[in-house]
């Protein structure tokens, strides 16, 4: 009888276009829009060098410290400045035409000339303030012995590094991944539609199909497990297709821990289905109210997990951390996040354990409600 219920439940689910759309087609469509909107977000974070000029008069030629500093910050792979060495008239002309953000004159202190204020001008001002402070310290040190100025410059050039950057073994950071991780989490929670349908189909006072199931010589729990297994299989197939689409079509990086990624999806799907079943068992009114509750909880959870605004995830952790731990969408999202960014699995394991506890609570709650429900007549 278990196989019979499983088989016909599977056929029924595959013909339910609405649930297939919300758990498969809708996330894929949304992921395509996400990819179009965010595909250049990481690359746009690069810093463009600030176009700057320096006046090459006698003061500049006799200021080796300024010349060396400007040469250093305008060279390399990520220069701060694109520097032009020009006369005073040329510098004023370039500034007036908007071809540079400002020009530098080797006075005491070193001066920055700008036409207007802005982000680039503020960076230049902070940079030159630091240069002036450093040069003032050098002048104080060498005041007693002016001949030692060149020796000080030589010491400054001979810098030593006492720290080393440890190479990260996991994938490099990305600003867009959290959007896709929260999308997967939302899709897992949309499995609640399957859970709602499962409970509806075993409550004889709601549908004719449920009435027929209740008069069948099968224990209600056994029928529920067989039916839920079919729902879980369909939802896992949908989630697998979504993951494959994200990874191999859109090129979303999940890291190298494939088995744990699958486990996260597995647990998240269970949580979604059990949540839907719990809602359906508690709410005795029409399907519209149940759907409204599921969508409200899923979308609110997605927002708090950073799906619409990436920084919201960190705001929640900072201002109301309890919301992060009772929000299943955030727990699923953070599980993917932890696998991608952290070598240690402590945070990941905690997220998975909380999801499993939620699943058990929802499942037990559903069972306790349904086992007490009796019908005078069918």
pLDDT one-digit tens code per residue, 268-285: 999 999 999 899 888 877
pLDDT confidence tier of residue 378, bands split at 50, 70 and 90: very low
For residues 145 and 196, the model is more confident at 196
Once rounded to an integer, what is the mean pLDDT over residues 138-161? 60
The pLDDT score that the predictor gives to residue 346 is 92
Residue-level pLDDT at 169:
54
Neighbours of 166 (CB within 10 A): 6
Place of tokens 């809708």: 26
Question: Stretch 320-342: mean pLDDT, rounded?
Answer: 92
Q: Note the pLDDT of residue 336.
A: 94
Q: What is the DSSP letter of 82?
A: E
Strand order in the sheet with 50-55: 81-86, 50-55, 102-105, 111-113
Which pLDDT score, from 0 to 100, does residue 120 have? 85
Query: What confidence tier does 221 reach under pLDDT thresholds 50, 70, 90?
Result: low
**Mean pLDDT within 179-196:** 91
In sequence order, what are the residues at sequence separation of 6 or more whose Cβ sits closer than 8 angstroms to the Cβ of residue 288? Answer: none
Does pLDDT of 206 surpass 90?
no
With a cut of 70, say whether residue 170 has pLDDT above it.
no
Distance, in Å, from the CA atom of 56 to the CA atom of 84, rounded to the nearest integer, reads 10
**59-84: average pLDDT:** 84
Residue 220 has a pLDDT of 64
What pLDDT, on the 0 to 100 scale, is given for residue 43? 56
- pLDDT higher than 80, residue 210: no
Average pLDDT over residues 98-102: 90
- Number of continuous H segments (helices) and E segments (strands) in the chain: 18, 4
How far, in Å, CA of 164 to CA of 251, rounded? Answer: 32
Can you give the pLDDT at residue 227? 78
User: How does strand 50-55 pair with strand 81-86?
Assistant: parallel
Most confident listed range (66-70, 71-75, 96-100, 117-121): 96-100
Exposure pattern of 120-151 as b/e (b: 16+ CB <10 Å)? bbebbeebbeebbeebeebeeebeeeeeebee
pLDDT for the residue numbered 259: 93
Q: What is the model's pLDDT at position 244? A: 94
User: Residues for the chain: how many in total?
Assistant: 378
pLDDT at 281: 85
pLDDT at 373 over 80: no
Looking at every residue in the chain, the average pLDDT score rounds to 82
Query: 324: pLDDT confidence band, cut at 50, 70 and 90?
Result: very high
Q: Confidence class of residue 42 from pLDDT cuts 50, 70 and 90?
A: low
Read off the pLDDT band of 348 (50, 70, 90). Answer: very high
Quote the CA–CA distance of 327 and 358 in Å, as a whole number.
10
Per-residue confidence band for 376, with pLDDT thresholds at 50, 70 and 90: very low
């Amino acid at each position: 009888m278990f196989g019979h219920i499983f088989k016909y439940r599977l056929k029924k689910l595959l013909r339910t276009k609405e649930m297939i759309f919300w758990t498969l087609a809708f996330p894929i469509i949304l992921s395509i829009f996400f990819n179009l909107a965010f595909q250049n977000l990481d690359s746009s974070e690069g810093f463009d060098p600030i176009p700057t000029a320096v006046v090459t008069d006698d003061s500049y030629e006799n200021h080796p410290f300024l010349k060396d500093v400007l040469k250093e910050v305008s060279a390399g792979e990520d220069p701060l400045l694109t520097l032009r060495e020009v006369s005073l008239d040329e510098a004023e002309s370039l500034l007036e035409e908007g071809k540079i953000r400002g020009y530098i004159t080797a006075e005491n202190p070193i001066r920055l000339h700008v036409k207007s204020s802005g982000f680039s001008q503020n960076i230049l001002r902070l940079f030159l303030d630091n240069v002036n402070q450093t040069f003032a310290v050098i002048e104080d040190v060498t005041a007693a012995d002016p001949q030692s100025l060149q020796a000080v410059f030589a010491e400054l050039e001979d810098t030593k590094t006492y720290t080393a950057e440890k190479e990260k073994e996991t994938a490099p950071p990305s600003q867009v991944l959290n959007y896709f991780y929260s999308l997967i989490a939302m899709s897992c929670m949309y499995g609640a539609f399957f859970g709602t349908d499962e409970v509806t189909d075993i409550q004889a006072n709601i549908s004719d199909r449920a009435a027929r199931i209740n008069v069948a010589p099968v224990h209600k729990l056994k029928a529920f497990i067989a039916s839920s297994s079919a729902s879980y299989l369909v939802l896992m197939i949908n989630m697998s297709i979504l993951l494959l689409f994200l990874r191999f079509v859109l090129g979303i990086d999940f890291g190298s821990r494939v088995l744990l990624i699958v486990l996260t999806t597995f647990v998240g799907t269970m949580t979604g289905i059990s949540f839907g079943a719990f809602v359906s068992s508690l709410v005795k009114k029409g399907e519209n109210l149940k759907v409204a509750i599921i969508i409200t909880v899923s979308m609110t959870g997605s927002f708090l997990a950073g799906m619409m605004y990436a920084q919201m995830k960190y705001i929640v952790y900072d201002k109301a951390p309890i919301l992060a731990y009772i929000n299943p969408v955030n727990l699923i999202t953070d599980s993917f996040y932890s696998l991608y960014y952290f070598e240690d699995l402590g945070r990941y394991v905690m997220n998975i354990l909380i999801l499993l506890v939620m699943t058990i609570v929802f499942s037990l709650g559903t069972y306790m409600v349904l086992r007490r429900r009796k019908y005078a007549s069918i």
